[in-house]
Amino acid sequence: MSKKLIFSLVLLASPAIYAEEFTPSDDNEEAPPSPLQTEVEFGYQAHSGNTDSQSLNARVGAEYTEGRHRTNGEWKYYQLYKNGEEDKNQQNYLLQSDYKLGSRTYLYGNYAGFSSRYSSYFEDHTVSGGFGYQLFNTDSLLLEAEIGPGFRYQEPNVDEIDDDEIIFKTQSKKPSCVVILISLGIC
């Protein structure tokens, strides 16, 4: 009977003895960083005086990195009212996916878009893909150069185009021979 009692006590006490072994310590262990990084910005300004103006801007950005793949996207919105009438209304879009080939080289696919009611173009969209190279990469500065073929679509705003501008009043659907993108990011 004493052997059964001792065996039972050991079984009951064993989780308490080994509990410390399974509890993560906060001293040196850190949780791995999340592969998803997000940013949200929102701003509003109102001015009054000789002219009254109100502006609204918003930005949403996200980056997902796992293994050799990196995907990032961004949406920006800006709206401006002057004296009660809308003066600007524009949106910018960016979506890019990269695949690392080496420590500094990568292949990329990119979409960049712009929509506006009051600029020279209602729509301006570019799709490209190609080769990228990280020229400089530190904690505070990222400089990359990218080159590759692409296609660009533009829809001009004929109401905003003057005779002295270099923008033509016909709709442009010409494929670009080479789109050269250089991105500079300061962290």
- Who contacts 161 (Cβ-Cβ below 8 Å, separation ≥6)? 120, 167, 169
pLDDT given for residue 176 in this prediction: 45
DSSP state of 178: E
**What is the rounded CA–CA span in Å between residue 67 and residue 24?**
25
pLDDT given for residue 22 in this prediction: 47
**Which amino acid, residue 65?**
T
> pTM, whole model, 2 decimals?
0.67
Please indicate, yes or no, if residue 41 is contained in any of the structural domains. yes
* H or E element that contains 129: strand 121-137
In a 10 Å sphere around its CB, with 0-12 CB exposed, 13-18 middle and 19+ buried, how is residue 54 labelled? middle
Tens digit of each residue's pLDDT (9 = 90 or more) over 83-131: 888 888 899 999 999 999 999 999 999 999 999 888 777 888 999 999 9
Please indicate, yes or no, if residue 133 is contained in any of the structural domains. yes
Q: What is the mean pLDDT of the chain?
A: 78
Q: Tell me how far CA of residue 171 lies from CA of 89, 116, 122, 143, 182, in angstroms.
A: 21, 16, 11, 34, 26
Helices (H), the chain: 2-22
Please indicate, yes or no, if residue 26 is contained in any of the structural domains. no
- Who contacts 48 (Cβ-Cβ below 8 Å, separation ≥6)? none
Domain count, the chain: 1
Please indicate, yes or no, if residue 161 is contained in any of the structural domains. yes
Please indicate, yes or no, if residue 103 is contained in any of the structural domains. yes
Question: What range defines the domain where residue 116 resides?
Answer: 35-186
- Who contacts 184 (Cβ-Cβ below 8 Å, separation ≥6)? 142, 143, 144
Please indicate, yes or no, if residue 9 is contained in any of the structural domains. no
Smallest CA-to-CA distance from 110 within 180, 187, 48 is with 180
Tens digit of each residue's pLDDT (9 = 90 or more) over 139-151: 888 888 888 888 8
Please indicate, yes or no, if residue 18 is contained in any of the structural domains. no
Please indicate, yes or no, if residue 47 is contained in any of the structural domains. yes
Residue 40, pLDDT above cutoff 90: yes
